Amino acid sequence: MSLFAINRYLGDENDNDGSTSESRSKALLAKLHEQARARQQQNSKIAEEGNPELSAKGGTTSKKRKKQQNDQDAAEKVQKKKSKGVNQESSEPDCEDLSANTQTAERSLSGKKKKRKGTKTEHNEPESSDSGAVLETVLVERKSKQQRGTVVEKTEESDSEEQEEDDEDESDEDESMEETKEQTEQLAENSEKSPSQSGFTILGGFEKKTVQKVQMVLPQWLAQPDIVQRDINKNLVPIRDVPGICPRLLKKLESNGIQNFFPVQAEVIPAILESASHGLLVGRGGYRPRDICVSAPTGSGKTLAFVIPVIQALSKRVVREIRALVVLPTKELAQQVCKVFCSYAEGTSLKVVMVAGQKSFAAEQTSLLETSGGRTRSLADIVVATPGRLVDHINKTPDFSLRHLRFLIIDEADRMIDSMHQSWLSQVVKAVYAPWCGSDGASIFRRTEPGPITAASLFQPQMPLQKLLFSATLTQNPEKLQQLGLHQPRLFSSTHSRPSATASSTTDVPPQPQEKFNFPQGLTEYYVPCTLSKKPLLILHFILRLKFSPVLCFTNSREGAHRLFLLVQLFGGVRVAEFSSRLSPGERKKTLKEFEQGKIQLLISTDAAARGIDIKGVKCVVNYDAPQFIRTYIHRVGRTARAGKAGLAFTFLLGVQEKNFLQMVRDAGSPGIQRQIVKPENLTGMELDYQQTLLKLEDVIKEERAKRRI
Ligand X SMILES: Nc1ncnc2c1ncn2[C@@H]1O[C@H](COP(=O)(O)OP(=O)(O)OP(=O)(O)O)[C@@H](O)[C@H]1O
Q: Which positions touch ligand X (CB under 6 A)?
A: 258, 260-262, 265, 298-304, 472, 612, 614, 616, 638, 642-643
620: which DSSP letter?
E
Closest by alpha carbon to 390, among 322, 455, 446? 322
> Prior bond to 464 cis, omega within 30?
no
Report how far residue 555's alpha carbon sits from residue 239's, in angstroms, rounded to the nearest whole number: 40
User: In this complex, which beta carbon is closest to ligand X, that of residue 283 or of residue 301?
Assistant: 301
Nearest distance in Å: CB 259, ligand X: 7
Helix, strand, or coil here: 384? strand
Between 242 and 325, CB nearer to ligand X: 242
What torsion do the CA atoms of 131, 134, 136, 140 make, to the nearest 10 degrees?
-150
Nearer to ligand X, 258 or 420 (CB): 258
Distance in Å, CB of 297 to ligand X, minimum: 7
Q: Contact 131/82 with Cβ under 8 angstroms?
A: no
**Least distance to ligand X from the beta carbon of 586, Å?**
23
CA dist., res. 124 & res. 36, Å (int)? 8
Q: Considering beta carbons, is residue 472 or 544 the nearer one to ligand X?
A: 472
Encode 361-373 in three state secondary structure. Answer: HHHHHHHHEEEEC
CB of 314 to ligand X, least distance (A): 19
Q: String of b and e for 507-526 (b: at least 16 CB within 10 Å)?
A: eeeeeeeebbbbbbbbbbbe
Minimum CB distance to ligand X, residue 294 (Å): 9
Number of Cβ within 10 Å of residue 256's Cβ equals 11
* 12 in Cβ contact with 133 (< 8 Å): no
Instruction: Name the residue type at position 612.
Output: G
Closer to ligand X at the Cβ: 93 or 299? 299
Q: Whose Cβ is closer to ligand X: residue 473's or residue 591's? A: 473
For ligand X, the closer of residues 299 and 499 by Cβ is 299
Of 69 and 343, CB closest to ligand X: 343
User: Rounded to the nearest whole angstrom, what is the least distance from the CB of residue 487 to ligand X in the complex?
Assistant: 24
Tally Cβ neighbours within 10 Å of residue 201.
8
The minimum distance between CB 358 and ligand X, in angstroms, equals 19
- Least Cβ distance, residue 257 to ligand X (angstroms): 7
Instruction: Determine phi and psi for 652, rounding to 5 degrees.
Output: -80, 125
- Judging by beta carbons within 10 Å of its beta carbon (0-12, 13-18, 19+), is residue 610 exposed, middle or buried? buried
**With respect to ligand X, which residue has the nearer C-beta, 191 or 300?**
300
The phi, psi pair for 42, rounded to 5°, reads: -60, -45
d(CA 243, CA 274): 10
CB closer to ligand X out of 105 and 258: 258
Query: Least CB distance from residue 423 to ligand X, whole Å?
Result: 25
Q: Counting beta carbons within 10 angstroms of the beta carbon of residue 343, is it exposed (0 to 12), middle (13 to 18) or buried (19 or more)?
A: middle
> C-alpha distances in angstroms, 366 versus 345, 353, 376, 381?
20, 10, 11, 14
To ligand X, the closest distance from the beta carbon of 298 in angstroms equals: 4
The Cα 588–Cα 593 span in angstroms is: 9
